[in-house]
Amino acid sequence: MSFPLTVLAVLVSYRFLDARIALLARDLLKPGGFLQSITADIPDVLFLLVLFGSGLLWGNYLKHKRRGISNTQTRFFLLAGSAVPLAYFLKWLFKYFFGRTNTRFWLSGQLSDGFHWFHGGGNYSSFPSGHMAVFAAFFAAVWLSYPRYRSISVGGLLVLAAALIVTDYHFLSDVIAGAYLGLVVTCLTGIVLNKIRPETV
């Protein structure tokens, strides 16, 4: 039931909430103000973060395997190291497919907040949120591997979601879709790895 519920949440958000929340966030940021200028100048380092993080995770996994260690950490390194780059790749494909107008580009009044199918990239790359997909994939791996850190995982995702929406980097529906994508990727990755390497995952 998670997929139809997520689709429903995205549709409701798109139809009734996205524009209102984006306009409210713009008013809070005060166009041209200090906070907006800071957030506008933040470079997008998600690719580098995924590249570095995935390398670190896989490096630790291989180190454990060489030493013959098979524990919770080993399983976490393999799961997160596989799910995070996969989530990044899939969000790139979906962004191209949906081609949704970026929030700040829409706020400039140049285009509707709709979808421009198969025209993703540049100002048409809002849906789904890549940051949310990647971090949801990572925190889902944390959730599955370390139950005692589940509250931290949920809290981290909520803070990220709020930051992306309040700074007008994304519409609410982008964030919902990105979070769902990341969670599904990690869950399916875990199932596949469990069948391929049951002694490790």
Return the domain boundaries, the chain: 2-196
How does residue 198 score in pLDDT terms, banded at 50, 70 and 90? Answer: low
Q: What is the mean pLDDT of the chain?
A: 89
Q: Which residue(s) pair with 97 in the sheet?
A: none
Q: In what helix (H) or strand (E) does residue 158 lie, and over which residues does it extend?
A: helix 150-166
What is d(CA 130, CA 45) in angstroms, rounded to the nearest whole number? 11
The torsion of the CA quartet 181, 185, 186, 190, rounded to 10 degrees, works out to 160
CATH number assigned to the domain with residue range 2-196, chosen from the 4 options 1.20.144, 1.10.287, 2.30.30, 1.10.10? 1.20.144
Q: Which residue(s) pair with 115 in the sheet?
A: 100
The answer, yes or no, to whether residue 33 has pLDDT greater than 60, is no
What is d(CA 10, CA 174) in angstroms, rounded to the nearest whole number? 8
Contact 38, 111 (CB under 8 A): no
Predicted confidence at residue 119, as pLDDT, reads 80
Predicted confidence at residue 25, as pLDDT, reads 87
Report the predicted TM-score, pTM, of the whole model to 2 decimal places: 0.91
The answer, yes or no, to whether residue 143 has pLDDT greater than 90, is yes
Contact 53, 59 (CB under 8 A): no
Q: Looking at per-residue confidence, does 40 or 148 come out higher?
A: 148
Which of 39-44's residues contact partners 24+ apart within 8 Å by CB, and which partners?
39/167, 39/168, 39/169, 40/104
Predicted confidence at residue 167, as pLDDT, reads 87
12-21, 22-31, 46-55: the lowest-pLDDT one: 22-31
Residue-wise pLDDT tens digits, 163-188 = 999 988 899 999 999 999 999 999 99
The DSSP 8-state label assigned to residue 41 in this structure reads: T
How does residue 34 score in pLDDT terms, banded at 50, 70 and 90? Answer: low
How much of the chain exceeds pLDDT 70, in percent? 89
The DSSP 8-state label assigned to residue 110 in this structure reads: S
